Amino acid sequence: MIRNDRNKYFILIIAAFSLLITSLHILVFEQQAPYVVLEELYYIPLLFGAIMFDIKGAIFAYLIVSVSYLPFFFGGWTTGVLGIFDRVLHLLFSGIFTFLAGFFVERLKRQQKEMERNRYLSNLGQVAATIVHDLKNPLITVLGFARRIQEGKGNTNTAAGAITESAENMQRIVNDVLDFAKPIQLKLKDDDTRNVIRQAVEACKAKAGEKGVALSVDLPDIPVTLATDSFYIQRALVNLISNAIEASDKGQEVEISTVTSKRGVVITIKDHGSGMDRETIENIFIPFYTKKRGGSGLGMAIAKKIIEGHRGKIRIESKPQRGTEIIIELLL
């Protein structure tokens, strides 16, 4: 429905612009200035029609322009055979231009769709290969220890522990894939974003303590009320803060701060770790892209999906050996 309304809007623009050119052209002739030629302006709506609607739209725009151009075949604006011949040539050349423009635009769009399809299939293959690779190692562990138990070799408790750990890793990978694949059903309600941030930080304290990383929090003194799904926002923040902790060395600090503006709130998560190179920054939100051992590569993609589901934005500023700063903007 929206697309149809937009198409009608563009068609009206083409028709209105064509009529405007005709009106200006007639006005010029009435002012006894026949050498001022405005015919070239008709190529603007023709090109616009080709870009917006491919070859069919270009032909439709040509029909609109041609109808707008008909007054120049009558009255005092066209005199003699030479004048008529000039008008016919204009229609002929504009028609050739219209067909070529529409043809090339349509071919370009087909090529783009084919490239997108090939890219999708390539990404699908990479995703499948990544999932298989991530599941392969824990599966080998499960089969290996299961055979040892079957053969009565080794310590049963050790084997059971290894099998349980591997099965949990496999379950985590499967859950991450399912969470990313399914649409997020947000239940928005007004909440103090400060509470959500505090809960996310609290959930990461144990991990920070194990690694010897300090967490500092700087929040506004007044409530920051936004319509959010606190469960999903907290999940995204926990993921991002955990990544910052993993990127930090013992004794370093991860800073979580929040500032408000008329548009909403900006949450910043900053670490002082090894930072990221350009390749990592460009690919960090691509599903299954990871340089961490044991990571599924879906954490950042899921966080981005959650934040954008709240009409928010997330961006990363990072340089090697200078740490990483993640900036989240949530709008009112």
**pLDDT tens per residue across span 112-156:** 888 877 776 676 666 676 677 677 778 888 888 888 888 887 788
- Confidence band for 101, pLDDT divided at 50, 70 and 90: confident
- Confidence band for 2, pLDDT divided at 50, 70 and 90: very low
- Amino acid at site 127: V
Which of 85-94, 248-257, 319-328 is the least confident region? Answer: 85-94
What does the pLDDT read at residue 55? 79
Q: Is the pLDDT confidence value at 200 over 50? A: yes
- Of residues 103 and 80, more confidence is placed in 103
Of 253, 291, 250, the C-alpha closest to 270 is: 253
Note the CATH architecture for domain 189-331. Answer: 2-Layer Sandwich (3.30)
Counting every residue written for the chain, the total comes to 332
What does the pLDDT read at residue 170? 82
What does the pLDDT read at residue 10? 67
Tell me the helix, strand and coil percentages in the chain, rounded to 5.
65, 15, 20
Could you report the per-residue pLDDT of 282-310, keeping only the tens digit for each? 888 877 777 766 556 778 888 998 999 99
- What is the mean pLDDT of the segment spanning 177-202? 87
Place of tokens 């800073």: 255
Which of 46-55, 180-189, 251-260 is the least confident region? Answer: 46-55
Instruction: Report percent pLDDT > 70 for the chain.
Output: 81
- Amino acid at site 207: K
Euclidean distance between CA atoms 71 and 95, whole angstroms: 18
Instruction: Report percent pLDDT > 90 for the chain.
Output: 28
Q: Is the dihedral of CA 50, 54, 60, 63 positive or negative?
A: positive
CATH 3.30.565.10 domain span(s) along the chain? 189-331
Q: Is the pLDDT confidence value at 35 over 60? A: no
- What is the mean pLDDT of the segment spanning 64-69? 78
